[in-house]
A and B are shown apart, each in its own frame.
Chain A
Amino acid sequence: MQRSLIQFAAESTTKGGVFGALGIDWKTLVLQIVAFIILVWLLGKYVYPWLIRSVDARQAAIEAAAQAARTAQANAEETEKKIAGLLHAAQSEARDIIATAKLEASEALADADDKARARGDQIIADAQDQIARDIAIAKQALHDDTLSLVMLATEKVLGKAVTKDIDNKVITESLKEVR
């Protein structure tokens, strides 16, 4: 390191000052500038145009794809809105239909209920009439049976045939006693 510093100091005094010590040679400098400019010109004329064109084309393609994507996105959003509208309308219609159906069903139910109630009342009334009639018939039959039994019993007790008059008299008396 010390040697390098000494060398640097020695060179700066012998070979054109600081520039010489740093290795700067004007001829080499100019040569390198010219060589680099030629390189820039060469690449700028024969290589970069193709690369730039390719990049531009790619960016244009990307831009076009992005534009297409944006359009597709817009279309999708519009379609989504349409679908949402249709869905909303369908839901609203379905709600109306259900409400109407419920109303009709409740009306029909009420109507059927009324009819059933009327029919039931009718059946009950008929049944009550029938029962009343049956009871009357049964009473009459019971009365007749009772009369026959009493007549038979009386015959056995009296030991004689009971005429109609006697019969009636005895029966009447017996009944009075029973009562």
Chain B
Amino acid sequence: MITSIAALDLHISIGAEKLFSVGPIAVTNAMVTGVGGLILTIIILWYVGGRVKKGRYNRFVGLVQWVFEGLLKSIDDVIPDKKVARRITPLAVTIFFFVLFNYWLGVIPGLDSVSWGGIPVLRSLTADLNFTGGLAIITVVTVQFYAIKHLGLVGNAGRYFRNPFKDPIGSFEGILELIGEFSRGASLALRLFGNAFAGEVLLMVIAVLTSYFASVVLPFFMAFELFIGFIQAYVFFILTLMFTALGTSSHDVPLSENLSSTTLPKKVKPTGMI
């Protein structure tokens, strides 16, 4: 099976491929699609914002506003501190919409068929570790920013560094917490990248394997990928909120109390890594 797939000469590259350079910056195919996703996100949200501002609603505006309202409710549910919740809203909501639109752009039929010098011109931005890694870094830094703002520099450092002579278990727990911060960032980046990349590869493989029946079979997989895109966007969004909630909760209170059922939606209780 592997041999037969390999014999089909699929163009699969883990990293985004360079198309050309602008000064010192290498412009990759993921960046090209990312610019499209960026413009799409701005246009849609700007249009909706403008319509809402003028009080002129239609079905599309209502749909986006409904999604926005749901996201706001999730933010309020997960983050108990209303001030922090309102401040984290732009980042969390932008993550959701930007990831969603870029993921969905990767599902466009024939995305990889347009090539330049043998390199596909378009590739989903979410299938580029530079983007997912960047997003994870932004999330982790933001969480640390609000944690320091909420707990103070010493208070936040106290989450990781404790006196091993006074509290040996706590100090070990702090080291684990520190490692956890890095692993959370890495898991955020790799999860989104892995899903998007695997989705693109899956679509390619299905297209090649089904040959003439691709037009019948592919729509089902595309619909599935659209659904996965929504799930991934929401997971990234909700994990950003949860990490912020964890970062801004006092370490004197056990996590189980901080993350009570009143502050977290039941479906996303941090019982393990998602």
Contacts and interface: CB of A to CB of B under 8 A. Distances in A.
Contacts of A7: 13
A40 B137 CA distance: 14
Nearest to A12: B14
A42 B90 CA distance: 9
B59 to A, nearest CB: 16
Contacts of B128: 23
Contact of A27 (B3, B6, B25): B25
B65 interface: yes
A13 to B, nearest CB: 14
Contacts of A42: 42
A47 B48 contact: yes
> For B34, B41, B129, which residue has the most chain A Cβ atoms within 10 angstroms?
B129
Interface string B13-57: 111110000001110100100100010011001101110110000
B135 interface: yes
B94 A39 contact: yes
* Size class of the contact patch on chain B: 35 or more
A47 B47 CA distance: 9
Contacts, number: 115
Interface string A161-179: 0000000000000000000
B130 interface: yes
Interface in A66-99: none
A127 interface: no
Interface string B107-150: 00000000000000000000011110111011000000000000
Nearest to A51: B68
A51 B48 contact: yes
A24 B68 contact: no
A46 B46 contact: yes
Interface residues of A, number: 38
Contacts of A8: 14
B2 interface: yes
B133 A43 contact: no
Contacts of A20: 15
A55 interface: yes
Nearest to A30: B134
Contacts of A39: 38, 41-42, 94, 98
Given A27-B25, A28-B130, A55-B68, A50 B49 contact: yes
Interface of A: 1-4, 7-8, 11, 20-25, 27-33, 35-37, 39-44, 46-48, 50-52, 54-55, 58
24 contacts: A3-B6, A7-B13, A8-B14, A11-B15, A20-B15, A23-B129, A27-B24, A27-B25, A29-B130, A33-B138, A35-B34, A35-B38, A36-B138, A39-B38, A43-B42, A43-B90, A43-B93, A44-B91, A46-B49, A48-B49, A48-B90, A52-B89, A55-B65, A55-B69
